[in-house]
Amino acid sequence: MTVGIAGERKAALVTGASRGIGAEVATRFAEAGWDLTISARSREPLDELAHLLGEKFGVRVAVAVADMADAEQLDALAAAHTEAFGRLDLLVLNAGMGQKGLIAELPVRRFDKLYQVNVRSAYVLLQALLPTLRSTAEVAGAAKVVAIASITGVHPEPELAAYGATKAALISLCETFNLEESEAGVSATTISPGYVNTDLSEWTKDKIPAEEMITVGDVATMVEAVSRLSRYAVLPGVVLTRPGTNLGRA
Ligand SMILES: NC(=O)c1ccc[n+]([C@@H]2O[C@H](COP(=O)([O-])OP(=O)(O)OC[C@H]3O[C@@H](n4cnc5c(N)ncnc54)[C@H](OP(=O)(O)O)[C@@H]3O)[C@@H](O)[C@H]2O)c1
């Protein structure tokens, strides 16, 4: 199916956009004049952000509430974006959950939930949005996917085995996606940061000061850079690590 390029402006879909990294990424792209679909589970912060960005930057911001653990809601999210904008220049697979726990102790149901939210959702969205990504690349030259993984998916970290395993799976999924799709102009990049100063890393801020963590702006800068690459440049992955002896550590 070929989807027509409805809008003049580029369009992005950002999951987990109600706060943290996703909210910063959405703000950067609105500022750059992109139309957006922003998604998360809670409507209120999304509505607030959509209103703010629309007023400030004069772009269209559609809100779509969806739980990453629910495949039907993900299909509806994908359909809502395509119906609203008819194009998808950038898909940011950012929504995710963390979980700390030793392999000896963490119940397998927690692993299953992490897998649904951090990996399965990416598979469902990639599949549902592929026709729109392909048709956008055909007309606009390229369409990019950026998935926010984690340094724990590249370098193992004690007590983050389940989380790290889901992020390693996400990286593998995106690498295979590139093998299958990049010749048609659609390619994926994983960004794998160490601790970023958001709510998700709150639990460790007594040991690692928030102001010494990677910033949401650092991650958004990498997403922006990826969005500017031509179809002939595929960036498989980027690791963002904290300085000094923390290199390669979360
Ligand atoms: N912060 C870090 O240290 C760090 C480091 C490496 C990688 N990451 C990754 O970066 C991504 C963003 O994390 P963050 O630090 O920005 O976290 P955050 O501040 O906790 O934000 C998470 C976002 O995802 C949404 N979300 C969470 N669970 C969801 C679900 N089941 N369905 C739909 N949306 C859901 C949240 O909104 P609702 O709660 O309203 O749904 C929120 O918008 C995650 O994939 C995370 O694994 C974070």
Q: Which residue type sits at 230? A: S
**Each residue of 195-227: pLDDT tens digit?**
999 999 999 999 999 999 999 999 999 999 999
- Report how far residue 115's alpha carbon sits from residue 106's, in angstroms, rounded to the nearest whole number: 14
Q: Which residues line ligand 1 (CB under 6 A)?
A: 16-22, 40-42, 67-69, 94-98, 117, 148, 150, 193, 195-196, 198-201
CATH architecture of 11-240: 3-Layer(aba) Sandwich (3.40)
User: What contacts 133, CB < 8 A, 6 or more positions away?
Assistant: 88, 91, 143, 145, 181, 186
Substitution candidate for ligand 1 out of 41, 44, 171 with most atoms within 8 A of CB: 41
CA angle centred on 196, ends 190 and 198, rounded to 5°: 115
Arithmetic mean of pLDDT over the chain: 96
Q: Which residue type sits at 62? A: A
In the chain, the N- to C-terminal Cα span, in Å, equals: 42
- Report how far residue 175's alpha carbon sits from residue 153's, in angstroms, rounded to the nearest whole number: 13
Q: For residue 191, what are the β-bridge partners?
A: 148, 238
Q: What pLDDT tens digit does each residue of the chain (250 aa) get?
A: 334 465 589 999 999 999 999 999 999 999 999 999 999 999 999 999 999 999 999 999 999 999 999 999 999 999 999 999 999 999 999 999 999 999 999 999 999 999 999 999 999 999 999 999 999 999 999 999 999 999 999 999 999 999 999 999 999 999 999 999 999 999 999 999 999 999 999 999 999 999 999 999 999 999 999 999 999 999 999 999 999 988 888 9
Q: Measured in angstroms, how far is the CA atom of residue 237 from the centroid of ligand 1? A: 19
Sequence ranges of the domains in the chain: 11-240
- Report how far residue 132's alpha carbon sits from residue 155's, in angstroms, rounded to the nearest whole number: 34
For residue 199, the ligand 1 atom closest to its alpha carbon is: 19
Q: Packing angle between helix 161-181 and helix 108-115, nearest 10 degrees?
A: 30
